[in-house]
Amino acid sequence: MDIRSLTAPQGYTAARPATQPGSLGAESLGDSAENGLKSLAANFAETLQQGENAALASMTGDADPHALVQALAQTELAVETAITVRNKVVEAYQEILRMPV
């Protein structure tokens, strides 16, 4: 058994720090939300970059297939999450537009 398959759960949890709940106070909610969105965007870009690097390494024969599948699964999850968030934001915006003034 490859040792990387045993450390896959650790790599997965390290790639998803944006999902950890944080303690927010009412006074710092605006700043924390802005910093949270920045960190979400940075984590999303990092996940995509890791997937791209794994794909490139696989093409040159430097990566094992398990690492490639794991990186692609993480990238797919990140993209699906971004699409879901985008759809919810668009839906909320359309709902606001439908409200009578």
Distance separating the N- and C-terminal Cα atoms of the chain: 64
Q: At what angle do helices 65-98 and 29-60 cross, to 10 degrees?
A: 140
From residue 54, give the alpha-carbon distance in Å to each of 9, 13, 22, 71, 96.
Answer: 17, 18, 31, 6, 42
pLDDT of residue 3: 61
pTM: 0.59
The structural domains of the chain, with segments of one domain joined by +, span: 28-98
Q: Which residue has the higher pLDDT, 7 or 38?
A: 38
Q: Is the confidence at residue 27, as pLDDT, over 70?
A: no
For residue 14, give both structure tokens.
């390290």
What CA–CA distance (Å, rounded) separates 39 from 60?
31
pLDDT of residue 24: 47
Q: For position 6, what pLDDT does the model report?
A: 59
Q: Can you give the pLDDT at residue 65?
A: 86
**pLDDT score, position 36:** 85
pLDDT digits (tens, 9 = 90+) for 71-82: 899 999 999 999
Token pair 């709902």 is at which residue?
A: 95
Tokens (6 digits) for 94? 């359309």
